[in-house]
Structure 1
C-alpha cells in the first residue's frame, strides 16, 4: 500500500456555527442544534465530480457543522479540514428509517441511518485533519440521557446511529481523519473489495461497566467483514468503549486483511468475531501495541454463529496490562457456552514475537472435541513476574522454533507439541507511546 493523497477540492463549504464546551465534550449551543448543514453539504457532494473532494472548512470563529445523514457518491471525498468539526445531529428523527425507529431500545432491528453512508459507490473517501463527532455522551435535547445512557440501559439491544457505514463500496479510504464519540459503532465496512484506513484516530471515553454511567457501550472502532476483502488498517490509533477492531466473519466472511503499525489503548482489543459463519482467513496483524486493553489478541465465537477461522498471523506485538492478553474461545457469549449448529474451528493461528507484561489469563479454548483451537507459539514470552493463569480446553498448541515461556497446564482434551523454552523476547522499548492529541 502507498499513502493516500487528498484529492483536489471542487467546493469549499464554510462553517457557520461555533463549537462550545459541554462538560468533557465539545458540542453546540442549544440554539444551534436545529441549524442543520445537511442540505448544503449533501448538495456539494452531489455536484462534485469524481476524483475531487468537498472541503468542510472553518471560517474565523465558526468551526462547526451539524448534520443528519449524508451519502457519499462514487469517486467523491469528504474532506474535513484541520480546525473544523462535523457534529452528528442529536435529533434521532433525522436518522430514522421510519418514524420513531431510531433512538430506541429494542431487542433487534435496523432503525437508523448512519451519519455518513457509502452504498455501492466505488472510490469514495473521508479525509482531512479535522473531526467527525457523533456526540454519544452529550445529553439529548429534551431528555436527561445521552445515546450512551440509552445503550447502557438496553437489555436486548439499542437502535442508535453509527458514524460511517460503507456497503459494497470498493476502494473506500479513510485518511488522517479523527472519528469520535459515535453513539454506536464508528466504522462498518461490509461486502466491498478494497478498504484503506491510514493515519486515522478513533476515540471515545473509556468504558467502566461497574459505574452508574458506564459510557461508550458498543462503540467499536473499525469493523470490517460480511463479505469484505483486501483491507489495510495502518498507522492509526484507537481507543474505544468496545472492540478496537472487530473483524466480522458472518454474511460472507472476510479474507486478505493487514493490520500494521498501529497503537491500541483502552478498548476490547484486536478481535475476530463473534460471528465467523462465513469464515475469516489470511489476516496479518503486525507491529501492534496494545496498552491497557481489556483483551489483547482475541478470536471469539460460539456454536450458534461459528465457522472456520484460519491462516491468521500475529507478529511483532507488544501487550501490557491486559487482563486477557491472548484469548481464543469457541464458547463466547453471556451464558458462557452458546451451543448451536454452527460451531467454530480455529486452524493455523500463529503468534510470532509477542511480548506480554502486566499479568492476565491466556485462553486457548475450542468449542468441543471435533471443533478445536489450533495455535502456534513462536517467540511468545511473558516478560515480568506478574501473575498469569491459563485456560486450555479442546485445543492443540505447538511450540515453535522461536520458543515461548508460556507454561500450559494439562487441559481438558488438549494437546501440546514441544515444550516451553527460554529465548529473547521481542523488544517493546519505546513502543508504548502516549495518545496522539
Structure 2
C-alpha cells in the first residue's frame, strides 16, 4: 500500500505498510577504540601577546606522531594549520581563543566579516589539510568567540550570520575546525564553544574519529553546526555531548560519497537535528545511529534533500533513540523538498530503519514527504513509541511496521 496524502491530524490508528526489508547494518569498517593522547614534543605557556606565530612555529617543528601542548591559561591566536602527523593538545584549564579580527581569516578578497551571495570568504580557525594521523586532543577548550564584537565592527559573528539570513544571503564567517582531503584524523575530549560558523567539518576525509568531545553554542546561534562530515568515509562519532543553534550532526555528500558511518552513545542538549543532507548528490549510505538522547532538538532524526542537490540515501539505521523536550516539534522528518529549490538531481530515501525509538513530546508531528508516487520515501519501523495524538504529515511514503501510541512521561 502506498500513502499519497497530505495530512496533519492526530494519528489514531496504527499504519502497517509494506516496504523493502532491511538488508544490513552500516558502520565504520575500522576497528575504533578510545583514542589516547599522543606524546608531547613541546609545551607552550601563554603570554599576553598574540600567540599565532608561536603556536604555528611549534606545530611546524613538531615531529610526526607527537603533539604541541598548550598548558593552563588563555592563548589568543589567529588561524592555525596542523601539519600531517602532528597534533594539538589543549590541556585541562587551557583555553585557545580565536581572534575576532576578520582580516586574520580573509582568503584574499576582503570578504571575511561581510555578507554576500556566495559566502566562503574566510579561512578556518584551525585547518587540517592533506594530512594523515593528525588530531586535536585534550580536556581544554577552544573558543571561537562568535559572541564577541568583531574587530573593526559593531556586531558579533553571530549577528552577522543572523543579518545575512534575514536578507537570504550568506555570511562570511570562519569555521572553527576544517578538515579536508585527509586520513585518520582524531578529535578527542576537547571542548568546542562559540564557533562563528560550523564547529567541525570534515571534507573528503577517510577515517575520522570523534570521541568524548563537547560542543556548546546557544540555541539561537545561526549556522553553528556541531559536526559535519561531508564526502567522508569510515567515520565514528561517539560518547559526545553536543548543543548548538543548528544541526548537532549533519552528514552530507556534495563533494563525494559519505558512507560507513557509526554514531553512538551521544547526547544532544539542544539544536536542529541528527541530520542527513541537504546535499546528498554523491550518495549517503551504510550509516547507523545508536544510543542517542535528544532534548529540545527541533527536527530530531532528519533527512532532507531536494532536486538541486539530491542523491541516494540508503541503508540508514537508527537504534535506541529517545527524543524529548517541547522544542522537538518534528522528531522524525524525511523531506525530499527541503530546502525548496529545484534542479536535476533526484533525491531517493530508501531502506531507512527505525528501531526502538521513544518520542516524548506532547505536540509532535512526524513528517514523511516523498518526491512522487514512483519515488516515495521507504522506511521500516520496529518498536517505535509515540504519544497519543501525535500528528502525521505524509505524502508519498512506504512504511513497514506499526507506530505504537503508548509513549508516556517526559524524561528519557
* Partners of 1:178 and 1:10 in 2: CA distance: 22
* Partners of 2:95 and 2:41 in 1: CA distance: 19
In structure 2, the residue matched to 1:410 is: none
Q: Cα–Cα, structure 1 residues 428 and 237, in superposed 2: closer, same or farther, change >3 Å?
A: farther
Query: Which of 100, 103, 107 is the matching residue for 1:93?
Result: 103
Say if 2:324 and 2:410, in contact at 8 Å, map to a contact too.
no
How far apart are residue 429 of structure 1 and its match?
A: 9.9
How far apart are residue 263 of structure 1 and its match?
A: 0.1
In structure 1, the residue matched to 2:154 is: 144
In structure 1, the residue matched to 2:227 is: 222
In structure 2, the residue matched to 1:161 is: 174
Query: Which of 301, 304, 318 is the matching residue for 1:300?
Result: 304
* Partners of 1:271 and 1:307 in 2: CA distance: 15
How many pairs does the alignment contain? Answer: 375
Structure 1 stretches of at least 4 aligned residues deviating more than 2 Å after TM superposition: 337-340, 427-430
* Partners of 1:272 and 1:344 in 2: CA distance: 12
Task: Find out whether 1:43 has 2:49 as its counterpart.
Answer: no
In structure 2, the residue matched to 1:187 is: 200
In structure 2, the residue matched to 1:388 is: 390
DSSP-derived class of the 2:139 partner: coil
1:73-84 map, 5 Å: 73-84=83-94
TM-score normalised to the size of structure 1? 0.83
* Partners of 1:405 and 1:262 in 2: CA distance: 25
How far apart are residue 340 of structure 1 and its match?
A: 2.2
Say if 2:102 and 2:150, in contact at 8 Å, map to a contact too.
no
* Partners of 1:80 and 1:167 in 2: CA distance: 21
How far apart are residue 358 of structure 1 and its match?
A: 1.3
In structure 1, the residue matched to 2:347 is: 344
Which digits, 9 at most, give the CA deviation of each residue in 1:64-93, with x for residues without a partner?
Answer: 111111111111110001111101100110
Relative contact order (C-alpha < 8 Å, sep 6+): which is higher? 2
In structure 2, the residue matched to 1:4 is: 35
TM-score normalised to the size of structure 2? 0.88
In structure 2, the residue matched to 1:107 is: 117
Query: Which of 130, 135, 144 is the matching residue for 1:134?
Result: 144
In structure 1, the residue matched to 2:79 is: 69
Which runs of no fewer than 5 residues in structure 1 stay unpaired? Answer: 18-34, 208-215, 407-421, 433-437
- What's the C-alpha RMSD, in Å, of the aligned pairs? 1.6
* Partners of 1:9 and 1:185 in 2: CA distance: 28
In structure 1, the residue matched to 2:292 is: 288
DSSP-derived class of the 1:288 partner: strand
* Partners of 1:307 and 1:6 in 2: CA distance: 38
Query: Which of 324, 330, 333 is the matching residue for 1:327?
Result: 333
Say if 2:375 and 2:396, in contact at 8 Å, map to a contact too.
yes
